[in-house]
């Protein structure tokens, strides 16, 4: 039986592909780069152009829906998840990669109803990998079903994380201390690829065993959370409690055991919530 959100899902897939073409083309061209909350928090004209395209097309098709989108929020729009159908959009996740032509960049489109994530679409523009998942229907990449790894032992784990935008000495000390703890626990490796969304997609595909970050935003997380969960994985708060999309922190893993071990190794790094 069709879900009431099938039409929305199809629209998300179409728009992620259209946006992906624009981003891939722009990747190799000259860019005008500005900063947002810090010298490491970047935005380009392409971020804004792609966000405007996605949001305006969706608004036309679904006029009663609400939107949370990265660049509109940066420009002062309220970041509020209500019970209404809500699109949560990152036009370019991995903007710093995009600026440097490092080829890990993605479009991320998530959709929530009654504050519950219904589906997620993530498009790796350069490699043309389309990751998607609908609640209760499994996770896929270009038609192939995804499953997380079943690893439960930290000393056999490959772990992804992201640095985030704060670069003050106290934050960096905590950030590096967290990596150190995982390496002291003999994790096989800790990797940083510059896109939270794609890191979570690697987790969904079983290419890594865990992912954690402090300082990411709801639009980095929304779509990929559905993909990880539908691939059989856990996405939770760094305290071990349920995920809070607006809290700027996450631990995700293929197994509950692995998620708990990673969460226990971490010292919290505080960031202002997305919904203040
Ligand atoms: C960024 C992520 C990056 C993460 C940053 C930021 P943007 O998103 O991709 O991995 O470390 O906190 O959220 O700005 O490129 O969409």
146-167: pLDDT as tens digits: 999 999 999 999 999 999 999 9
Distance separating alpha carbons of residues 48 and 56, to the nearest angstrom: 12
**CATH code, 154-265:** 3.40.190.80
Question: What average pLDDT does the segment 67-86 reach?
Answer: 95
Give the contacts of 46 (CB within 8 A, at least 6 positions apart). Answer: 22, 23, 26, 31, 91, 92, 98
Question: What average pLDDT does the segment 56-70 reach?
Answer: 97
Q: Are 137 and 144 in contact (CB under 8 A)?
A: no
Catalytic residues: 70, 90, 92-93, 95, 220
Return the CATH superfamily for domain 6-145.
Fructose-1,6-Bisphosphatase, subunit A, domain 1 (3.30.540.10)
Banded pLDDT at 52 (limits 50, 70, 90):
very high
Banded pLDDT at 1 (limits 50, 70, 90):
low
Q: What is the pLDDT of residue 4?
A: 87
Question: What average pLDDT does the segment 50-64 reach?
Answer: 98
Instruction: Report ipTM for this prediction.
Output: 0.92
Question: What average pLDDT does the segment 114-121 reach?
Answer: 98
Give the contacts of 261 (CB within 8 A, at least 6 positions apart). Answer: 154, 185
CB 161 less than 6 A from any atom of ligand 1: no
For the entire predicted model, the pTM comes to: 0.97
Banded pLDDT at 3 (limits 50, 70, 90):
confident
The minimum-distance atom of ligand 1 relative to the CA of 70 is: 16
CB 44 less than 6 A from any atom of ligand 1: no
Which residue of 105, 201, 202, 217 sits with most ligand 1 atoms within 8 Å of its CB, as the best mutation to test the pocket? 217
Radius of gyration over every alpha carbon of the chain, rounded to an integer in angstroms: 17
Give the model confidence (pLDDT) of 198-257 as tens digits: 999 999 999 999 999 999 999 999 999 999 999 999 999 999 999 999 999 999 999 999
CB 162 less than 6 A from any atom of ligand 1: yes
Strand (E) or helix (H) holding 200: helix 196-204
Mean pLDDT of the chain: 97
Question: What average pLDDT does the segment 61-69 reach?
Answer: 98
Question: What average pLDDT does the segment 60-77 reach?
Answer: 96
Please state, as a whole number, how many other Cβ atoms lie within 10 Å of the Cβ of residue 89. 30
- Listed by start position, the domains of the chain span 6-145, 154-265
Rounded to 10 deg, the angle between the 256-265 and 169-184 helix axes is 130
């Amino acid at each position: 039986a069709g879900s009431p959100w099938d039409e929305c899902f199809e629209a998300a897939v179409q728009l992620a592909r259209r946006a992906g073409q624009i981003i891939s083309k722009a990747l190799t061209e000259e860019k005008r780069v500005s900063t947002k909350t810090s010298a490491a928090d970047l935005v380009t004209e392409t971020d804004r152009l792609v966000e405007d395209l996605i949001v305006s097309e969706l608004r036309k098709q679904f006029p009663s829906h609400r939107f949370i989108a990265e660049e509109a929020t940066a420009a002062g729009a309220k970041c509020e998840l209500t019970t209404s159908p809500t699109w949560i959009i990152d036009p370019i996740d991995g903007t710093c990669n995009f600026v440097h032509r490092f080829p890990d960049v993605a479009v991320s489109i998530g959709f929530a109803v009654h504050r519950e994530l219904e589906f997620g679409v993530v498009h790796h523009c350069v490699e043309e990998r389309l990751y998607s998942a609908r609640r209760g229907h499994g996770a896929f990449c270009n038609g192939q079903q995804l499953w997380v790894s079943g690893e439960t032992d930290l000393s056999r784990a490959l772990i992804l994380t992201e640095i985030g935008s704060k670069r003050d000495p106290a934050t960096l000390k905590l950030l590096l201390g967290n990596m150190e703890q995982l390496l002291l626990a003999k994790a096989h490796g800790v990797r940083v690829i510059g896109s939270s969304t794609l890191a979570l997609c690697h987790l969904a595909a079983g290419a890594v065993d865990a992912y954690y970050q402090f300082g990411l935003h709801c639009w980095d997380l929304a779509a990929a959370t559905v993909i990880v969960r539908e691939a059989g994985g856990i996405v939770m708060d760094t305290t071990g409690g349920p995920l809070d999309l607006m809290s700027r922190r996450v631990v995700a893993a293929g197994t509950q055991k692995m998620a708990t071990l990673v969460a226990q190794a971490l010292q919290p790094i505080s960031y202002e919530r997305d919904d203040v």
